[in-house]
Each structure stands twice: as structure tokens, then as C-alpha cells.
Amino acid sequence: MVGLCTKWLEKGVDSMRVIAGEHKGRQLQPVPNRLTRPTTDKVKEALFQMIGPYFEGGACLDLFAGSGGLGIEALSRGMDQAIFVDKHPKAIATIYENLKTLKLQDYAEVYKNDAYRAIKAAGKRGLSFRLVFLDPPYEKFSYEELVDSLVEHNVVNEETVIVCEHSSEQSLPDSFGSFTCFRHETYSSIISISLYKQE
């Protein structure tokens, strides 16, 4: 899978932009390395059409955030707050740069942290998210364990949608506990999106 991701990056995701909302058309900087796998504009646009393209407030959690493109898109489309988490310094620096460019610093928090520690910290603060993005390095994290952690620390609720971006070669289960997959789409030969919410 590393080979597939590298091949994809060589084809070039050299520019990213905000697709819709207040900041539509604004350019975003990618993370300056070959290890981060950005979500392409095409996939991002399709993803938000699947979720419901606009929001009336709420907060989102962008784990494994990379450049922050998904959380920034959610802010542009009407969410009140986004929390970005990544453990790589270059990713954190890129998120800060993109937020500053769009003047979104007041609506965001950025943490250099492990995903599980970040979820636990959010739970201690009593935070609850309407939207959670899970886009970990393929095959290196258990989506089930991530969702279990979200539930354990009470950072999800009956309205939460969990977005799992994963390899098209990887099949995710129909449910993670009380969260059931209500939509699944595959894009190209590499990426699939599975959406979960509570019944």
C-alpha cells in the first residue's frame, strides 16, 4: 500500500483548495513531505455531498489531520469549531499556516498529539463532536479501536457522523458497536469512504 500511495503522490496532488462555503476556491498548502496522503479535491467534494454539504454550527474533530483540509472544509461550510490533531511537526506547521491564511485561527485548535491521547483529552474537557474524520495511515490503525475510544470518552453523540477514509482494498464492517455504516463509496482504485452514525 505504501507503493500505491507513493505512486499516487508522484502523479501530483500539488494544489488543494476549499471546495465550497465561505472560503470557496481558496488554496491550501499541502504538507511538504511524501508521507502524508492528502484527500483530493474530487474526493473531498464527493465526501461532503454524502454527509450533507452545509452545516448549522457544531464542532468537528479532524484526527490524522495532515494539512487540515477536511476540518477547514467543514468550517467553511458552516461548522463553528474544528480541532485538528496530528503527530507530525510538518503537518502541524501546515495546519497553522492554512488556518492563518484563511483567518480561521479563532475557530480552531491544533494539537501535536497521538490520536488516542487527543480523544481522551477531548473527553476530559467534555467536548462532543458532530463530525469526526478518521484518515489514519492505511493498515496502521484499527478503525474499530478508534471508534471504541471515541465512544468510551463520550466525545460522540446521537448526531455524530464518523467519516472513515480507507484503502479500497480494506473492507470495514457494517457496524462498530452502536455506529452503523449508512453510506460507502469507492473512488479510483485507491480510496474508499465509509460513513457511520448511530441508529
Could you read off the pLDDT of 68-108 as tens digits, one per residue?
Answer: 999 999 999 999 999 999 999 999 999 999 999 999 999 99
Is the pLDDT score of 160 beyond 90? yes
CA 69, CA 108: separation in Å to the nearest integer? Answer: 13
pLDDT of amino acid 172: 93
Could you read off the pLDDT of 4-61 as tens digits, one per residue?
Answer: 332 233 334 456 899 999 999 999 999 986 556 677 888 899 899 999 889 999 999 9
Domain of 184, CATH number, reads 3.40.50.150
Q: What is the residue range of 77's domain?
A: 2-198
How would you list the strands of the sheet with 156-167, edge to edge? 108-112, 81-86, 59-63, 129-134, 156-167, 191-198, 179-187, 175-176
Which ranges in 33-160 belong to alpha helices (H)? 41-51, 69-76, 89-101, 115-124, 143-152
Closest CA to 102 of 162, 16, 12: 16
pLDDT of amino acid 55: 95
Average pLDDT of the chain to the nearest whole number: 88
Beta-bridge partners for 112? 86
Highest mean pLDDT (candidates 85-89, 166-170, 190-194): 85-89
Q: How many CA atoms lie within 13 A of 100 on its CB side?
A: 7
CA 114, CA 169: separation in Å to the nearest integer? Answer: 25
pLDDT of amino acid 11: 35
**Widest pairwise Cα distance in the chain:** 42
Residue 37 and residue 140 in contact, taking contact as beta carbons nearer than 8 Å: no
CA 64, CA 2: separation in Å to the nearest integer? Answer: 17
Q: Which helix (H) or strand (E) holds 11?
A: helix 2-11
Could you read off the pLDDT of 110-133 as tens digits, one per residue?
Answer: 999 999 999 999 999 999 999 999
Instruction: Work out how many domains the chain is built from and give that number.
Output: 1
Q: Are strands 59-63 and 108-112 parallel, antiparallel or unpaired?
A: unpaired
Is the pLDDT score of 150 beyond 80? yes
